[in-house]
Structure 1
């Protein structure tokens, strides 16, 4: 679990810029492989696709791993903390409703990196969705069900 001091350091200097694309990583509570459970993985995946989850932001690409989630988020007028927080809260509520889980679903913080305007966004998306390959979960990305990108 991240200490409050560590959480504050992650937020310090965080700037949200409308129209900017961010590579976001958020981790499950205590790195629990919660999304090995198909029910939880499907629940989180459905919420990635809902427009209401992101409101003014757009989730361009995402992959759900057993103990974390990566996404490429394009911001609208809302700040990144609020957009990611809404996604995490929606997943938490749904999983807790399904299972009566008492402990948190996610760590409190998340990691983000703003993509530069000259970064190749599709290359970043390919890197993101290839995470299951690098982790050895599958031998071909098409075998892994919990990812998507707007370019498909």
Structure 2
């Protein structure tokens, strides 16, 4: 999974500089930082704010508003369970409850071994094959609890 580099202020400054001239640079900078480091490190907020002439509160507000931005590193695998209407109608809440039990982690949490981060999301765009789950960047449809177990078992370390 992308985003495994350890925090580096120098690298963060380079990423910020590389994206600073883009229109609406804040979001592209935040996405690039998360892509590289796996999260938006607290130390990045003042760097971004200073470079874009924004307050720290403005940058923090954007990071905390958008659910795709993380403040802590995710597990080695990110499991997203769709909770949108189509998936709900096909058992997504039961599937999410199963995922909580299987992984021993609530949405937004990472398993104790660091293998999985569980996220509840609203629409993966796979409504015709609901309920849908995305593991890392791979989308899966018609996921039953048994299929969920098989998919996550494939991703576990040997």
Is the strand fraction higher in 1 or 2? 1
Please give the TM-score of this superposition, normalised by the length of structure 1: 0.26
Whichever of the two has the greater Rg, that structure is: 2
